[in-house]
Structure 1
């Protein structure tokens, strides 16, 4: 993108808005140097980043942002072996802490919600060692801690001891009544790093000490008592040693920074990029902007687009298309009616989109990625080069016309103006035809009637006009595509008080013009267009109401089905409970029957018991309503993916034999009649893996509604039996055998209760403890 295009379309002001929303010096710098990209993949990724950041700002309580600084100068300083200052180390530590926060922010579920941002943050390398080292050396105020080194700790301890001795010696002087007349004040202060007392000037020779300073009036001398000179000397030496040790600590720490300078610099770059992404997101939210849909082909479709630099309460949204049925749009209409704003909006929004920014427009707006955007807008007269307005315009025009192509966008304001109207109109037509021949998308503003006529007569070129309200004699700034407009020059002159005599003569001359009929046609088409627009608006209102009614009906239907399912589910659970209670009662009766029916033969007794159990198990329980379409007979063939209502599972038909169909559901095969087969919701190709392909195959596999094992560890016998009963019924109906009941070892009471219950079930042929490798006494395997 050429630099002058960014200036012409005022993209620099968008950069400034973006910089104001950027949190750090580096991200502000990044914003002010933002340039659009012409690579579709780069543009799409940038828009995805902005999209995720916008969602995060609206949904999350916290963000990955924090306190960062421009650490580039201090990194260069470290590379040159210049010792860093305490302030620089603190800025570095705060920045490194934020980089670490950014790296860890998207861990957990957030990496699924924000994959693009997580991919960027994952590249940041946490520098825990360097962070800890800096924090061990400095406190929150930037002072070097005593614990920074053993030597520093020892020096400061000794220093405090000396200070304490100095204070005691000074206290003796201050409390000495003989010394009191000599002192200006009974205080201890410092001069040149040495402790002193204020002595009256007239007693300087009576006070034994060294003068280090005097007051501004000269009446007070700050003197160091001779008794504390040695102590002050010791203190000075320790202070010097302290400074030397601190300097050594800072040099060592600077060396640590130097070792990781490349990692730190890369982290700084990545963190700046994240900050810049969130600045783009904040700009999108502040503008109520949307992500433009990536256009298929070179279609520009802006819906209710707003110029981002015009206040929201003053801007009039415009809608325009380009690249669907026409590649060139010619906008006509009155002066100050919004023609230039319309083409600037199209150009600026295209630049924003290709910079990873959202655009202030309605949802559904789409933009292509242009290779170049060429624009000639406004008075570009070059005084320095001694060029007129027209000459400057032509100079810019010829700079790109030879190379313009199908993937470029051309914006031309008042093409052909600034010269003889006849020659200008001819030139404007010729340039327009050339752009159409090259297939270059273009939006052109013009006042020439010849250009309106060209658009009406030429396929691929379309008229548009900015509406003018003839009642108020003012533009509405609405852009209407499909119809050409007129300049409304006379109406504007009347509005601004042009004398009637002049206007009358101008209208007379206009009526004598051979193109007068064209203006009448324009006016008639404008009226028709307004009528059509009004009818369209009413139609859209009707469609909206119909859509709302449809949504209400669908919601009511869904609510009805939910209530129906809830009632059926409750009834099914109650029926299951009744059936379970009945089975328990029947088994009790059967036990009594066994005890009292010793006279009956064993065979007859067994048949009678089987009959009673069969009748209990045969009690029908209402199931969930199946709303799937029946499977056509021609689809009942091997390989078809089907739904089985009896087990509420999907599977693939393995074989068909007369009135019986074998279906594989995961690891099991089920045989059912065709009337239990229905169309699957989402047909798919079954992928079957050999469960024995690995050395340690998992003990359990599941299909949609049937499991092959039940875990009841921690439950009482009374709590476990209903679950065991339901589990065994489902497995028996699905044809699954054997199954496993995991009850654990414990005291053995749960195992005995379950196994006692299994003995009462006639459809259980065998059960026993699992082998030691599969759970031993903690698991019971059941066969049907």
Structure 2
């Protein structure tokens, strides 16, 4: 991508905006070197990174990117044996800490199950260096000052330094507070010259204190003297400071060697943080312009939905739909000046550059941008004073250069093609240039105010006319792009609105040829048809919104109806069940009375007949339907379009029309079509008739099982085997109670049977039979 087109389309201004969102010098440097790519895979990867960062900003609002520095020069100097300064160590420690905070931030996102594979992958390569950070923090504070804790030797030296300074100040304080001090000193203060403590003595009293003169005032009236009494102390202080400096250099050298050992890890941290900062720089920029991620294609198709020029204020920029590369590869925009044609050109060109640089574009979701090998733009007045070129000549120099290089992978933007010369010759040249570029297969957008080019789109395949709308009522452009409608002159309408007399306007119209009048009338008719079409489309959208609202209301009412119906039905069943339960209780009382009579009068009433009678009463009890829904997942049948199903929530049958998502189907129920979750569907039958096969016989309530099991005469092991099978059959038959006859004998069989029954999960309790049931020779089993 040549630098000239980047300047023409103002890509450098986009980069300046980007820099405002960089969190560090690393991100700033990445923005400075940003260039649009021409590699499809690279562009796609860049947009994936930006989109992931925008997702994080949307969820969290920020990313911890503070405290990042470009420490690569420091690391490289340490790697060749150099000693770093305290401030450089502060930057190294701060950068390590920033990487640690960002790692923790990524871990929090992963715990919240946020999908961030790219950021996770980048931070996964970072090797934490907590020990190096701690070592630096022990030596240097945030202001770059060496701490006393750096070493025991340094702590001792500084303790001696402070004590020595205290003694010096104490002596000097006594001097400046003496009775003669006010007369001999210019001021009662202690100051420092050449790193030694001195006092300001008047010139005439220089011999009173002795010692060394280090400086004098500009007037020469004051001398800064180190009194003889503290010269020795100052000498000791100087020696201690030299020791302090030596120890500090030793500490810094050792710390520099630690940085050298971790040099590769530090450089990796810098590279990763540079990538992450750049990711979020693009994302913050995208958020500021309300941008979106475009779909990138390799077929040089462009489809921008409500695209705005990114350098114009959001509330002022007019959004336009721009499409190129599908049905047509060239657009010719005609119409008067100051209508917004140039802004449309720059919007397309700059948006393409931004997309190929991996930046969000100022357009709505669903926009699509193609990858162009080169973008050429001849926009604006680039007259060269040095070459004494006219406007026309300047444009032609650019156009000649474009024609030499253009190919089928290019996007070419011409502004006011053919302008600056004789209208007839300029129009002819414009048509010829457009034919040449269009013939290469390049994507072309050209603006012109020549009326001859209005017919260009009708005579060439793959070319469409367009214009920028002009409001005659307000005498101002609306800046709205109209594809398929050529621009027309509004000179007569504007003149009339401004007060020009009808006579002058009519005479002017008489000078225009019939063909021109017909073309203008045709364009006016197209504009009227377009406006009417937009009105009708808006009315259709409104009707659709109302229909969707009515459909939702009907669905809601239907669901309320069926829920109310189910509630009433359940209440009715509950009431019926209560009646039956009452009858069962009465029957139970009757059975108790019969048993009593049997015991008292030895009536010949069989126990199994009583149990059978009670079971029949229980079977008469209605089974209540619960609100639990059967799930289609319970069926092995794979649903297909055309299958007859039951919608469980509505208790209605319907047919499947089509699958609308992985978990939803569109179902036709009577005259209604609605989306239903697959879990709310129960398969009934396929559209085509399926051969039915006889079902295998399964033991159930109709399977005959005796109410008694006689084990008398059986061996112990065989008897227990028979008891196990009998209990299963009785449970399957639904019996509430059965009797097992084991006889009295030695009691071994009875004990074994009862032990087995006590441990059976379905047995509620066991008891010996009553006197009329067989006594201790029979065990009566009651099930849960």
Normalization by structure 2: what TM-score? 0.71
Structure 1 residues 567 and 196: alpha-carbon distance in aligned structure 2, compared to 1, 3 A threshold: farther
2:719 alignment counterpart: none
1:284 alignment counterpart: 286
Pick the aligned partner of 1:222 from 222, 225, 234.
225
Aligned positions of 1:260-339 closer than 5 A: 260-295=262-297, 297-339=299-341
Pick the aligned partner of 1:243 from 242, 245, 250.
245
Q: Does 1:17 align with 2:17?
A: yes
Over residues 358-409 of structure 1, what are the superposed CA-to-partner deviations in whole Å (9 max), with x where a residue is unaligned? 2222333222222222222222334444544334434433434465444432
Asked if the contact 1:337–1:475 (Cα under 8 Å) also holds between the matched residues in 2, the reply is: yes
2:35 alignment counterpart: 35
Give the superposition deviation at 1:237.
Answer: 0.8
Structure 1 residues 671 and 319: alpha-carbon distance in aligned structure 2, compared to 1, 3 A threshold: farther
Instruction: State the secondary structure of the residue aligned to 2:227.
Output: strand
1:488 alignment counterpart: 490
2:722 alignment counterpart: none
Asked if the contact 1:410–1:442 (Cα under 8 Å) also holds between the matched residues in 2, the reply is: yes
Aligned length: 661
Give the superposition deviation at 1:551.
Answer: 5.0
CA distance in 2, matches of 1:179, 1:374: 84
Structure 1 residues 661 and 449: alpha-carbon distance in aligned structure 2, compared to 1, 3 A threshold: farther
Instruction: State the secondary structure of the residue aligned to 1:294.
Output: strand
1:118 alignment counterpart: 120
CA distance in 2, matches of 1:450, 1:434: 17
Structure 1 residues 187 and 394: alpha-carbon distance in aligned structure 2, compared to 1, 3 A threshold: closer
Give the superposition deviation at 1:137.
Answer: 0.7
Normalization by structure 1: what TM-score? 0.71
Q: Does 1:153 align with 2:186?
A: no
Over residues 680-711 of structure 1, what are the superposed CA-to-partner deviations in whole Å (9 max), with x where a residue is unaligned? xxxxxxxxxxxxxxxxxxxxxxxxxxxxxxxx
Aligned positions of 1:659-738 closer than 5 A: 659-660=694-695
Q: Does 1:351 align with 2:329?
A: no
Give the superposition deviation at 1:246.
Answer: 0.6
CA distance in 2, matches of 1:84, 1:118: 32
Instruction: State the secondary structure of the residue aligned to 1:330.
Output: strand
Aligned positions of 1:510-589 closer than 5 A: 511-512=512-513, 514-551=515-552
Is there any run of 5+ residues in structure 2 with no aligned partner, and where?
649-678, 683-690, 701-730, 734-757, 767-783
Asked if the contact 1:329–1:464 (Cα under 8 Å) also holds between the matched residues in 2, the reply is: yes
Structure 1 residues 635 and 74: alpha-carbon distance in aligned structure 2, compared to 1, 3 A threshold: closer
Structure 1 residues 418 and 183: alpha-carbon distance in aligned structure 2, compared to 1, 3 A threshold: closer
Instruction: State the secondary structure of the residue aligned to 1:106.
Output: helix
CA distance in 2, matches of 1:406, 1:264: 46
Which range moves more in the overlay, 625-634 or 105-114?
625-634
Structure 1 residues 326 and 761: alpha-carbon distance in aligned structure 2, compared to 1, 3 A threshold: farther
Instruction: State the secondary structure of the residue aligned to 1:290.
Output: coil
Over residues 280-304 of structure 1, what are the superposed CA-to-partner deviations in whole Å (9 max), with x where a residue is unaligned? 2222222122222335844322222
Instruction: State the secondary structure of the residue aligned to 1:477.
Output: strand
CA distance in 2, matches of 1:661, 1:39: 65
1:751 alignment counterpart: none
Structure 1 residues 498 and 314: alpha-carbon distance in aligned structure 2, compared to 1, 3 A threshold: farther
Structure 1 residues 406 and 185: alpha-carbon distance in aligned structure 2, compared to 1, 3 A threshold: closer
Give the superposition deviation at 1:162.
Answer: 3.2
Q: For the pair shown, which has the larger CA radius of gyration, 1 or 2?
A: 2
Give the superposition deviation at 1:538.
Answer: 2.4
CA distance in 2, matches of 1:566, 1:195: 100
Instruction: State the secondary structure of the residue aligned to 2:114.
Output: helix
1:431 alignment counterpart: 433
Give the superposition deviation at 1:497.
Answer: 9.2
Asked if the contact 1:182–1:207 (Cα under 8 Å) also holds between the matched residues in 2, the reply is: no
Over residues 188-235 of structure 1, what are the superposed CA-to-partner deviations in whole Å (9 max), with x where a residue is unaligned? 544433344555555443445444444556346533243x43333222
CA distance in 1, matches of 2:558, 2:374: 52
Asked if the contact 1:565–1:625 (Cα under 8 Å) also holds between the matched residues in 2, the reply is: no
Aligned positions of 1:92-107 closer than 5 A: 92-107=92-107
Which range moves more in the overlay, 331-340 or 519-528?
519-528
Structure 1 residues 531 and 236: alpha-carbon distance in aligned structure 2, compared to 1, 3 A threshold: same
Asked if the contact 2:40–2:298 (Cα under 8 Å) also holds between the matched residues in 1, the reply is: no
Asked if the contact 1:12–1:32 (Cα under 8 Å) also holds between the matched residues in 2, the reply is: no
Pick the aligned partner of 2:629 from 617, 626, 629.
626
1:6 alignment counterpart: 6
CA distance in 2, matches of 1:458, 1:385: 37
CA distance in 2, matches of 1:271, 1:287: 24
CA distance in 2, matches of 1:615, 1:89: 87
Structure 1 residues 446 and 761: alpha-carbon distance in aligned structure 2, compared to 1, 3 A threshold: farther
Structure 1 residues 402 and 251: alpha-carbon distance in aligned structure 2, compared to 1, 3 A threshold: same
Asked if the contact 2:148–2:154 (Cα under 8 Å) also holds between the matched residues in 1, the reply is: yes
CA distance in 2, matches of 1:252, 1:437: 70
Structure 1 residues 74 and 281: alpha-carbon distance in aligned structure 2, compared to 1, 3 A threshold: same
